[in-house]
Amino acid sequence: MIFERITEPGLSQYAYAVGCQGAKRIAIVDPMRDIDVYLDFARSHGVEITEVLETHIHADYASGARELAERTGATLRLSAYDRGEQFEVGYPHTPVQHGDEIELGGVRLQAMHTPGHTPEHLSWLVFDVHRSPGTPMAMLSGDFLFVGSLGRPDLLGADATDALARQLHQSVASLASLPDSLEIHPGHGAGSMCGAGMSGRPMSTLGYERLTNPMLDPTLDQDQFVQRMLANLPPRPDYYTRMKVLNSRGPATLGPISAGPSITPEDAGRLMGQGHVVLDLRSQTDFGRGHVPGSVCIGLGKNFSMWSAWMLDADTPIILAGNSDRNVEAAVRGLVRVGLDRIAGHLTGGVQGWIDSGLETARHEVIPSTELQERLDAGEPLCVLDVRTDVEWNNGHIDGAVHVPLPELPRQVDRFVGGDPVVTVCNGGYRSAIAAALLERAGATGIIDQLGGMTAWNRAGCSTTTETAPSA
């Protein structure tokens, strides 16, 4: 048997390769947009991709299923339960019903309709035909069952949430006939916004989830289940609707990953005047020392794809600016995974090339925690803007700070223009750099970015409070 989890840490996303080495055939389940990863896997294992499967219409990343099936000649199998729903797949595929099976040599896959996260959601049971043909060994549970959690039911809007949550309860009930030994292999791990309270472990067993997953508590009736399910949902990213639309119609064929042409600083300046945006891929400190005026800073880190999708307009052409060609290539891959395809090119020589050209360069202070504490203690008029989540804020923040979670800042940014200098704060310095760039683009001046966020603040022994006011 071949069973491989293929991980993309930036979106905490898991795709799977499942099949039979003897038959030299595999299925790829829930592939992302940059399909070369799966083609390389098949090539290195000497097998053919004959099936491409999806658990549901994804909201957090752009699907590579259609293009992978076209490139390989594989059969594209998608849920039949999208018909008449808010989102329907609009491109050719083979519809799959509950109970449908796929034979891959010594491996059999069986579809199981598990709605709730979405109406069409399928899970896939995996059977080892030679060892235990009647008992499934694993479930590819997609966004239905996570380690420690379930998939959120609110992606289709408030009007559909209660009904989906009740469908989710019924899907949990349908697990009753499955054995404790069943391995659970979900579509995401901790860090994904597709569910709340996910464990950092990439897999579990159904027996362990029955013991520890609060949403599998058998004493909950349906109303209690719904109440618990909806009580702690994470913020819903604005871009999820865009991704559902994109994946319903099918993302455009991507082809080879390319960073586009090299764009001189002078040409980049002209293009910015025509509506392009420079995306700065560097760190908090590098961005503060000098950057292209009006650029957006989203550091090339673990959560690059998610924050790019949340902060960037999909219709705005992007000019990439990093420290190396390798950074730029990694950024392209991260952007296309969330449907940000309008990449005009990359800045010649990166931001240093811009600075060396003599063009106007923007800068702002990046100060350590101790200096910020001293300036606040001295009574300097500073507006401390904390852009962390509600949970992070409630666990402790700088006294007198204003709380606006970063996803909400684009809608509230104007309130910070024309007043006291704003100090941006997050947990480690990543989100505060994004916030500093948003403030600058809105016209704020005197911006200060606190180095290292609240992690550095607490390490330095600076004072915090858990008072809830002021907030947004």
Residue 220: which CATH number?
A: 3.60.15.10
The length of the chain, given as a count of residues: 472
* Token pair for 15: 């795709």
Q: What's 461's DSSP letter?
A: T
β-partners of residue 79 are 96
Residue at 65 is within a domain: yes
Is 8 or 468 the better-scoring residue by pLDDT? Answer: 8
What pLDDT score does 469 carry? 55
In percent, the amount of the chain with pLDDT more than 90 equals 88
Residue at 414 is within a domain: yes
Same domain, 72 and 169: yes
Residue at 464 is within a domain: no
Angle at 180 between CA 178 and CA 186, to 5 degrees: 80
Backbone angles phi, psi at 191, to 5 degrees: 110, -20
What pLDDT score does 233 carry? 87
State mean pLDDT over 455-470.
87
CB atoms inside a 10 Å sphere around CB 231: 8
Lowest mean pLDDT among 135-139, 193-197, 359-363, 468-472: 468-472
Same domain, 174 and 214: yes
What pLDDT score does 136 carry? 97
Q: Is cis: bond before 136, omega within 30 of 0? A: no
Same domain, 69 and 185: yes
How distant, in Å, are the alpha carbons of 168, 219, 397 from that of 52?
25, 38, 47
* Token pair for 207: 């027996």
Residue at 316 is within a domain: yes
Integer Cα distance of 319 and 291 in angstroms: 13
Which of 33, 190, 179, 59 is CA-nearest to residue 119?
A: 59
Residue at 195 is within a domain: yes
Integer Cα distance of 266 and 269 in angstroms: 5
374 CA to centre of own chain: 37
Over the stretch 383-435, which tens digit does the pLDDT of each residue have? Answer: 999 999 998 999 999 999 999 999 999 999 999 999 999 999 999 999 999 99
Which of 12, 9, 6, 80 is CA-nearest to residue 38?
A: 6
What pLDDT score does 84 carry? 95
Residues 6+ apart with CB under 8 A from 250: 63, 66, 89, 90, 91
Integer Cα distance of 42 and 367 in angstroms: 49
* Token pair for 453: 């966020």
Same domain, 34 and 183: yes
Same domain, 399 and 277: no
Residue 11: pLDDT over 90: no
Same domain, 111 and 219: yes
Same domain, 12 and 93: yes
Integer Cα distance of 421 and 453 in angstroms: 17
Q: Which one of 191, 223, 249 terminates a domain?
A: 249
Q: Are 427 and 336 in contact (CB under 8 A)?
A: no
Same domain, 373 and 414: yes
* Token pair for 302: 């673990």
Query: Which amino acid appears at position 170 of this protein?
Result: Q
Integer Cα distance of 298 and 433 in angstroms: 7
Over the stretch 307-358, which tens digit does the pLDDT of each residue have? Answer: 999 999 999 999 999 887 778 989 999 999 999 999 999 999 999 999 999 9
Same domain, 70 and 183: yes
Q: Looking at the 3D structure of the chain, how many domains does it have? A: 3
Query: Which amino acid appears at position 248 of this protein?
Result: S
Which of 380, 352, 377 is CA-nearest to residue 365?
A: 380
Same domain, 332 and 405: no
Same domain, 340 and 391: no
Which of 79, 22, 77, 18 is CA-nearest to residue 49?
A: 18
Q: Are 142 and 65 in contact (CB under 8 A)?
A: no
Q: Which one of 195, 228, 249 terminates a domain?
A: 249
Identify the domain containing residue 413 by its residue range. Answer: 365-459
Q: Are 245 and 399 in contact (CB under 8 A)?
A: no
Per the prediction, the chain carries an average pLDDT of 94
What pLDDT score does 198 carry? 84
Over the stretch 18-36, which tens digit does the pLDDT of each residue have? Answer: 999 999 999 999 999 999 9
Query: Which amino acid appears at position 420 of this protein?
Result: D
Over the stretch 250-305, which tens digit does the pLDDT of each residue have? Answer: 998 887 888 889 999 999 999 999 999 999 999 999 999 999 999 999 999 888 99
Residue at 236 is within a domain: yes
Same domain, 236 and 380: no
Whichever domain contains 382, its CATH number is 3.40.250.10
How distant, in Å, are the alpha carbons of 84, 91, 226, 305, 349 from that of 98?
17, 21, 24, 33, 54
Residue at 470 is within a domain: no
What pLDDT score does 470 carry? 54
State mean pLDDT over 60-84.
97
Residue at 412 is within a domain: yes
Q: Is cis: bond before 470, omega within 30 of 0? A: yes
